[in-house]
Amino acid sequence: MTTPTQQQRDFVHAIGEFCRRELPGASAAPHDAGIYAKLAELGWLGIALPEEYGGSGGGMTDLVLFLEETGYWQAPIGGFATSVITAAAYRNFGNEAQKRRVLTDFLNGRVLSISMSEPGAGSDVGALTCRAERTAEGWVLNGQKTWCSNAHIAEHILLVARTSTEGGKHEGLTMFSVPAGIEGLTVHGIDTMGGREVNDLYLTDCLLPADAVVGVEGRAWPQLMAGLNIERMILAAHMLGTARRAFDDTVGYVRQREQFGRPVGSFQALRHRLADHATELECTRLLVHDVARRIEENPGEPLPRAASMAKLKATEFAKAMALDGMQMMGGYGYATEYGMERLLRSSVVSTVYGGTSEIQRDIIGKSLGL
């Protein structure tokens, strides 16, 4: 693993200073438009976008550092992850007009969303049935999508629909650029343990222009596969920061909390558990940063095994760390006055979205020829 440059260390320091200044307390909202707008003004939202589109031209390592640090401070910018994933798809496959319009909106603080899942198509994306039919006026979409993160606050939704039933189940899928508020699209929020972050989308004779296709008609599957590195690394980096925060908060608590006349952290049962967590945290950090470097050094090359390992390790460790942190903090870990219960809520779902831990293990297993 390469050591971060001085510029990257200064960047991480600046993020920490921003969060200390702008986030005096934990925000209950997953996404704060005001904080997000300030990050846009600083130019940080475009950390991984090319300079020709107004970004900073940074690489995967820069993006990972940003996500890790904002994850550590629990910055309420829930719309950033889906925006970066979606922006990458537009950058790689959109036409010039789509890139200029959507990427500019993203850099100016607008949220982007991507919609793949359906009631009968989650991990098995090839089973989706939402239809897009070509007409003289363009494309007409009908069907339901679900678990669409941030669609309720998005300016643009990158939606995958079926345009053909010929060939295999992964053929005939097409990406469409769907503007928010378009007639025929209804967004219904889904209440979850983490608040209202995901949505059902209902499309009823939703008319899109002929040029709404992003990339090549019928080629959404390979286009989606090209973006798996960035999606998994975004989740891995954010959960690495979350795990760091859970660890630091736990250590800080057990150092101060006294029972039986001494700090509870001095008891061997807790001290040894935290020693193990410290080791796991360092292993996770090294893995995530190393995979980021490999992706940066091999642009455009899919690294499914490495990216899946990073996502699997970081999300599972963050969940385990937050759960054990709650246990060590006792009732205080469960109280909303403190941050541990929020860390647990955010980490539990991370092992589900973006490809479940079981899917990541399956990908890794197949890479071993199993």
Which residues are known to be catalytic?
231
Secondary structure (DSSP) of 312-333 = HHHHHHHHHHHHHHHHHHTHHH
Burial (CB count within 10 angstroms: exposed 0-12, middle 13-18, buried 19+), residue 6? exposed
Q: Nearest-5° angle of CA 7, CA 82, CA 348?
A: 95
Phi, psi at residue 181, to the nearest 5°? 80, 5
Q: Nearest-5° angle of CA 334, CA 336, CA 337?
A: 110
Query: Dihedral through CA 254, CA 257, CA 262, CA 264, nearest 10?
Result: -40
Q: Where does the chain show beta strands of DSSP type E? A: 111-115, 131-135, 138-145, 154-162, 173-179, 185-192, 195-208, 213-214, 258-259, 262-263
Read off the tokens for 116: 């793949």
Answer yes or no: are the C-beta atoms of 147 and 190 closer than 8 Å: yes
Structure-token match 């070509």, residue found: 134
- Pair type for strands 154-162 and 111-115: parallel
